[in-house]
Amino acid sequence: MGIIETRKLAYEYIRRDDEGNVSGITRAVDDVNIDVRPGEFIAILGHNGSGKSTLAKQINAILTPSEGEIYVDGMNVADPSKLWDIRQRAGMVFQNPDNQIIGQLVEEDVGFGPENLGVPTNEIWERVNESLKMMQMLEYSKHSPNKLSGGQKQRVSIAGVLAMHPKCIIFDEPTAMLDPHGRKEVIRSARALNDVEKITIILITHYMEETIYADRIFVMDKGRIAMEGTPKEVFSQVEKLQELRLGVPQATLVAYRLKQAGLPIPDGILTRQELREALKACL
Amino acid sequence: MTLEHVNCIYSADTNHSVHALKDICLNIDDGEFIGLIGHTGCGKSTLVQHLNGLIRPTDGLITYDGQDIYGKGFNRKELRGKVGLVFQYPEHQLFENDVFADVCFGPTNLGLDRKEVELRAYEALHAVGFPDEDFYSSPFELSGGQKRRVAIAGVLAMKPRILILDEPTAGLDPKGREDILELISRLHSENNMTIILVSHSMDDVAGYAKRLIVMDHGSIAYDDVPQEVFRNVRELEAMGLALPEVTYIMRTLKRNGYDVDDTLTTIDEAVDAIVDLYKSRHS
């Protein structure tokens, strides 16, 4: 069984007027069937309003499905008695680090999660140190979080999730507010957790470049999964992605345009190194 | 607009004092398109808030049309109409019941009569390409990209001569980013509006700005045309910034012995250069 499984999953936002009568329904997630295997690195792409975040919030039981089912590590998220187990198993990192950091000191912030889980004090400190070490933030454990850079704050947020010993981490646009250096730090951390700790990663992003190392990419549109495949498969379909208001990595776009201009360039180029090799072969 | 030896020190005379701007000298001419770049915390946002009088410099002189903006009798309220500032995530500042009322808020505060206010709001919503049929929708029911257009229209309705946008593309999908940048570029070319685009993405500014100002630790590190600024690769990377991806691609090719211009910054230029190279080798 997968770590995350959805069956005919749907979520509806219901708008009501002043009297409480239903005035409109938006189906944000519609008939989504996905199966994520333990240890996979999944990227989810989609334009603003395509349903990515609504899907993510259901995995973490912040929202419960309107229709269909979703299982996290075999537990049904609609079962209230499993709520805390689900949130421990599948942690979430949000877009704005300032909205998720609450501690006065970095180490207090990271300890907040395990403390809520009822972990004994000694073990809390062990977990805090271990998580900060993994995120290379141990030297900042006595610092105030609000003096850190954006990338460092996000790494503290990730450490806070790690301290709960999750099997899966969902990143909801973790780099949208960061500068290029901060973006690199966060993506590198996510990849390392996947490679070394075998934690399942679900990365939601608007930056195509961040998804090229994923095992699989899901592209969402109008609440449904519109495309699915490896980065090579997905990014070979430049026109379809543009129709879905998305793009492709810059190296892929250059390769695509060169091919249109008549150069013998293969499909599926994702990095500048691959582009260089393809050009070497034909120049 | 000019800045002469402007310094800004937050919490001066305490042991938490932060020297956010250090001896900034700057001259901004009518009709320029400037990209203001720097990593998180470099002083970009502090600088732009000085330009429309939101923050008073600790010392130094700021002039608009040759007049000291802190001089006797200078109307700073009028200045805020002339120097329009679109903050980060401006859609968080939408508050009215409908879109049209929200855009009317700025010009109403300038003390204009009702007819003029509504005329300007109508013009501004048109300028940002907002559909007529949604004028009376609640701003909270719009997509992220549409909300941002409404927020920009709210500033445009004050008819600014200088438009400053702080990270206007953050959090938008690729198509949304392109649309907003095209809109800004059109405001510049059609209305000769002076634009200051604050960003940490070189990819965003490279295709549009004709002058780049790079800030680092509160000082101006570079102030030049983009191609000249991008020659300082190591220094920019040390500041947590990155070159446009296209420039990296061209640099990789040059390092591998191909005779190409490695200061190109846009996809179109790069594709043309590689196609020319291919043709010259195969003719």
> A268 or B115: which carries more pLDDT confidence?
B115
The pLDDT tens digits of the residues spanning B118-147 come to: 999 999 999 898 999 999 999 988 877 889
pLDDT at residue B263, rounded to an integer? 87
Among candidate residues B256, B250, B255, B242, the one with its CA nearest the CA of residue B270: B250
Integer Cα distance of B109 and B10 in angstroms: 29
pLDDT at residue A150, rounded to an integer? 84
Gyration radius from chain B CA atoms = 21
pLDDT at residue B65, rounded to an integer? 93
* B281 neighbourhood in chain A, CB within 8 Å: 283
The pLDDT tens digits of the residues spanning A129-151 come to: 999 999 999 999 999 988 888 88
Kindly state whether B278 is in contact with chain A, defined as any CB-CB distance less than 8 angstroms.
yes
* B275 neighbourhood in chain A, CB within 8 Å: 258, 261-263
- Please give the class, per CATH, of domain A4-230: alpha beta
Kindly state whether A18 is in contact with chain B, defined as any CB-CB distance less than 8 angstroms.
no
Kindly state whether B200 is in contact with chain A, defined as any CB-CB distance less than 8 angstroms.
yes
Kindly state whether B275 is in contact with chain A, defined as any CB-CB distance less than 8 angstroms.
yes
pLDDT average, residue stretch A78-82? 93
Kindly state whether A275 is in contact with chain B, defined as any CB-CB distance less than 8 angstroms.
yes
CB contact under 8 A, B278 and A46: no
Q: Among B170, B202, B277, whose Cβ lies nearest the Cβ of A283?
A: B277
Strand partners, A172: A204
**Does the structure show a pLDDT above 80 at A250?**
yes
Tell me which residue has tokens 């994702």. A270
Q: Which residue is closest to B142 within chain A, CA to CA?
A: A49
Percent above pLDDT 70 for chain A: 100
pLDDT average, residue stretch A165-177? 93
pLDDT at residue B93, rounded to an integer? 87
- Residue A187: pLDDT band with limits 50, 70, 90: very high
Query: What is each CA distance from B98 to B137, B139, B147, in whole angstroms?
Result: 5, 6, 11
pLDDT at residue A161, rounded to an integer? 94
pLDDT at residue B282, rounded to an integer? 84
pLDDT average, residue stretch A144-162? 90
CB A121 within 8 A of CB A108: no
| Mean confidence (pLDDT) of chain A | 92
Q: What are the residue boundaries of the structural domains of chain A, listed by start?
A: 4-230
Query: What is each CA distance from B89 to A177, B151, B214, in whole angstroms?
Result: 10, 9, 22
Integer Cα distance of B245 and B265 in angstroms: 8
> B63 or A179: which carries more pLDDT confidence?
B63
pLDDT at residue A149, rounded to an integer? 82
pLDDT average, residue stretch A235-257? 94
Kindly state whether A14 is in contact with chain B, defined as any CB-CB distance less than 8 angstroms.
no
Return the number of CB contacts < 8 Å for A and B: 110
- Residue A48: pLDDT band with limits 50, 70, 90: confident
Integer Cα distance of B231 and B226 in angstroms: 9
The pLDDT tens digits of the residues spanning A189-201 come to: 999 999 999 999 9
CB A61 within 8 A of CB A86: yes
The pLDDT tens digits of the residues spanning B184-228 come to: 999 999 989 999 999 888 888 888 999 999 999 999 999 999 989
pLDDT average, residue stretch A152-164? 93
Low-confidence ranges of chain B (pLDDT < 50): none
pLDDT at residue A215, rounded to an integer? 97
**Does the structure show a pLDDT above 80 at A1?**
no
pLDDT average, residue stretch A203-215? 95
CB A247 within 8 A of CB A267: no
